[in-house]
Structure 1
Amino acid sequence: MKKIAIVYHSAHGHTEFIARHVCQGARSVTGVEVALVRAETIAGTPDDLLAYDGFILGSPTYLGGVSAPFKGFMDATGRLWRTQRLKGRLAAGFTVSSLPSGDKQSTLFSMFVFSMQHGLLWVGNPILPEQHGGVPYDEAANRLGSWSGLMAQAGHSAPADAFVPGDLKTARMFGRHFAESLLRVSVAAPAGTPVATPI
């Protein structure tokens, strides 16, 4: 079994609601175990990350970046970075803001850079925007057109579950794609496969 940690911070419940849908999608894939992990909790024990094969990172977008508790989690992994203990595992990211753009790309980019510094392999969001095929906008997968990671939108001061159906569908598809990608890259090379040698 491959293990995935969905590491997230959620101040008002919106990001956690999306995280649970991402989790649902990942758990639909046979051969993976998925854990929901609060960023502020694992920041105190970052070595616990070593138990996982892949990480889906989630944060609300605040002023064009990750939230302070999520940044605290990132900073807490400094010792793992210095020893490159996470190198070669998979990572992906998702974020929520109250506007269609909301500078969510900046948040995903900070997660991407963090992952590159740890030597993680980034998994994007290859879901085609379904509104181009005639699906109503609010019901369309990847309606916000994000390729680098998952974006979702919840209105300002809206209830934690106030997402359009398309964003929830996208979250489940995103989680499933990540789990399938993890299994795909985890397949061992067949016996007798030649090992590449330096030129």
Structure 2
Amino acid sequence: MNKIAVIYHSAHGHTEYIASSVAEGAGSVANTEVQLLQAQQLATAPDELLGFDGFILGSPTYLGGVSAPVKAFMDATGGLWRAQRLRGRLAAGFTVSALPAGDKQSTLMSMFVFCMQHGMLWVGNPILPEQHLGVPYDEAANRLGSWSGLMAQAEKASPAHAFAPGDIKTARMFGRNFAEALHRLRRAEPCGQTPEAAR
């Protein structure tokens, strides 16, 4: 059983809605256990990360970066970083903003650098934008054209009505792709060892 943590902060429920869709997609892969965890809770107990094989980080984009609770969670992992206890695990990221661009790329890059410093392996977003295949823009997967991670745009509405259908579809596909990549990685490990145990 591969264990995935979807770690997020959500001030108004929009990022949480996407996190749930990502988790749904990841959980659709056999032999996968997915937990939704709030970043502010993990900031006080970062060692809980050691119980997972992969991490999908989620944050709203605030002023071109991750939110304060996500940054606090990142900073709380310093002890794990010094011992490189998360090395070799899989990671990915997603972010939400109110505008199509909204400088979301810099948020994903901060997640990427964080995971690289921990020695993790980053999974991007391989989904081709479907509008080029004739799918209506709002219904198209990866309509915002992000390759480094998942981007979603939230209108000023309740979370259940804030997103274009394509963004929800993309979130599920993104989660499923991550879980499938984790299964491939774990099958390739010698003797079925976790990355930490193999060192």
Identify the TM-score tier after normalising by the shorter chain.
over 0.9
What is the distance in 1 between the residues matched to 2:148 and 2:31? 25
Partner of 2:24: 24
Partner of 2:4: 4
What is the distance in 2 between the residues matched to 1:109 and 1:19? 18
Partner of 1:39: 39
- Once the two structures are superposed, residues 19-45 of structure 1 have per-residue CA deviations (whole angstroms, 9 ceiling, x without a partner) of 000000000000110000000001100
Aligned to 1:187, the other structure's residue is in SS state: helix
5+ long unaligned stretches in structure 2: 192-199
Instruction: Give the counterpart letter for 1:61 in structure 2.
Output: T
| Per-residue deviation, 1:189 | 5.6
Partner of 1:197: none
1:100 aligns with 2:100: yes
What is the distance in 2 between the residues matched to 1:190 and 1:74? 30
- Once the two structures are superposed, residues 148-184 of structure 1 have per-residue CA deviations (whole angstroms, 9 ceiling, x without a partner) of 00000002x3212210100000000000000000000
What is the distance in 1 between the residues matched to 2:98 and 2:150? 14
Please give the residue correspondences for 1:46-57 in structure 2 after superposition, counting only pairs within 5 Å.
Answer: 46-57=46-57
| Per-residue deviation, 1:188 | 4.0
Name whichever of 54-63 and 179-188 sits farther off: 179-188
- Once the two structures are superposed, residues 44-99 of structure 1 have per-residue CA deviations (whole angstroms, 9 ceiling, x without a partner) of 00000000000000000000000001100000000000000000000000000000
Instruction: Give the counterpart letter for 2:72 in structure 1.
Output: G
What is the distance in 2 between the residues matched to 1:137 and 1:189? 40
RMSD: 1.0
Larger-Rg structure: 1
1:140 aligns with 2:140: yes
Instruction: Give the counterpart letter for 2:13 in structure 1.
Output: G
What is the distance in 1 between the residues matched to 2:20 and 2:185? 24
Aligned to 2:79, the other structure's residue is in SS state: helix
1:73 aligns with 2:77: no
The change in CA–CA distance for 1:135 and 1:187 in structure 2 (over 3 A counts) is same
